[in-house]
Amino acid sequence: MALNVPNTLTWTRIAAIPLIVLLFYMPYTWADPAAGLLFAAAGITDSLDGYFARRLGQISRLGAFLDPVADKLIVAVALVLLVSKDPRPLIVLTAAVIIGREITISALREWMAEMGQRRKVAVSLLGKYKTTLQIVGLSLMLYRQPLLGLPTYRLGVVATEVAAALTLVSMIAYLRAAWPELKR
């Protein structure tokens, strides 16, 4: 099951990370848009791998582990890249909130799984909206250049800030769901 369709999509998302980094630092006018488009394509594979896993009956333990790792890796790398070019406090704070939440919720899910309560902190609809908005926002920020007269970077910042707010709301929801177990 290591090389089924969903796992191949997830591995592709992981393989895109060094390419995004390379494109981000290339000194060509086409490099930023290419990095943004590659990030967006990788984000689309996040939806497709879960869809194909269910549709083709190819759900695996490796995929269940690898998919969230790939998501967190690519988002964290994109945020670090963006902060390297735009270290304004709002951008840094947004990155810190998103990365900090991902670490916290990953640890919470691991702990809840050890207690046999993993379902209490399963991915919610709010979490899916947050992820979609995050992928769109980060794609636009990486793209950087205006597109059809639209300020893609600024739109990406706004989308990513809203995603960071949803990140905090979803974290609170997950912590509330786990609170009875945390108190014990």
Please answer whether residues 52 and 6 qualify as being in contact, where contact means their C-beta atoms are separated by less than 8 angstroms: yes
Give 162-175 pLDDT, tens digit per residue. Answer: 999 999 998 888 88
Residue 1: the pLDDT is 59
Residue 105: the pLDDT is 86
The ranges assigned to domains in the chain are: 5-183
Residue 118: pLDDT over 80: no
State which CATH number among 3.40.190.10, 1.20.1440.230, 1.10.10.10, 1.20.120.1760 fits the domain covering 5-183.
1.20.120.1760
Q: Where residue 124 falls among pLDDT bands split at 50, 70, 90?
A: confident
Give 43-98 pLDDT, tens digit per residue. Answer: 999 889 888 888 988 888 888 888 889 999 999 999 999 999 999 999 999 999 99
Residue 24: pLDDT over 70: yes
- Over the chain, what is the mean pLDDT? 91
- Strand, coil or helix: what is 32? helix
- Which residues have CB under 8 Å from 28's CB, separation 6+? none
The encoded tokens of residue 63 equal 């995929």
User: Is pTM beyond 0.95 here?
Assistant: no
